[in-house]
Amino acid sequence: MLNSFLFERITIIGLGLIGSSIARAAREYKLAETIVACDPNEVSLAFARKQGFIDTATQNAAAAVADSDLVIIATPPSTLHSVALEIAPRLKPGAIVMDTCSVKQFAIDSILPCLPKNVDFLPAHPIAGSEQSGVSAGRANLFDKKRIIVTPDDPSQKSHVLQQITTFWQAMGARLEGMPPHLHDMIYAYVSHLPQVLAFVATRPLMAQSSLFDNDQTLQKFTRLSGSDVTLWVDICLTNRAYIVTALDRYMDVIIHIIRELKGAPEGNADLANDTLIKTVLFPRVAASCLVSTVMEAEKKAGFSFARYAGNGFADFTYPATHPPEEDIENISNHYSGMMDVLARYVEELTVVREALVSEDAAQVRESLTQP
Name the residue among 167, 115, 166, 124 with its Cα closest to residue 19.
124
pLDDT computed for residue 276 by the predictor: 87
Single pTM value for the model: 0.92
CB-based contacts of 252, cutoff 8 Å, min separation 6: 347, 350, 351, 354
Planar angle of CA 306, 287, 194, nearest 5 degrees: 45
Question: Residue 267 and residue 369: Cα distance in Å, rounded?
Answer: 37
3-state helix, strand, coil in the chain (%, to 5): 60, 10, 30
Question: Residue 80 and residue 108: Cα distance in Å, rounded?
Answer: 9
Q: With a cut of 70, list the residues of the chain below it in pLDDT.
A: 1-3, 131, 154-158, 208, 210, 212-213, 265-272, 372
For the sheet containing 120-126, what is the strand order?
Answer: 56-58, 32-38, 7-13, 70-73, 96-99, 120-126, 147-150, 175-178
Cα radius of gyration rounded to whole Å, the chain: 22
Q: pLDDT tens digits for 220-258?
A: 999 999 999 999 999 999 999 999 999 999 999 999 999
**How many percent of the chain have pLDDT more than 70?**
93
Using CA atoms of 46, 50, 52, 56 in order, give the dihedral in degrees to the nearest 10. 30
pLDDT computed for residue 269 by the predictor: 60
Name the residue among 370, 368, 343, 348 with its Cα closest to residue 357.
368
Name the residue among 185, 187, 115, 122 with its Cα closest to residue 155.
122
Question: Residue 114 and residue 92: Cα distance in Å, rounded?
Answer: 14
Question: Residue 346 and residue 255: Cα distance in Å, rounded?
Answer: 9
pLDDT computed for residue 89 by the predictor: 97
Partners of residue 10 on adjacent β-strands = 35, 70
pLDDT computed for residue 264 by the predictor: 80
Name the phi and psi angles at 150, rounded to 5.
-115, 145
pLDDT computed for residue 266 by the predictor: 60
Question: Residue 312 and residue 279: Cα distance in Å, rounded?
Answer: 23
Name the residue among 181, 192, 184 with its Cα closest to residue 105.
181
Residue-range domains of the chain with CATH = 7-179 (3.40.50.720), 182-369 (no CATH)
pLDDT computed for residue 1 by the predictor: 34
Using CA atoms of 286, 249, 129, 111 in order, give the dihedral in degrees to the nearest 10. 180
Question: Residue 339 and residue 280: Cα distance in Å, rounded?
Answer: 11
Question: Residue 120 and residue 94: Cα distance in Å, rounded?
Answer: 7
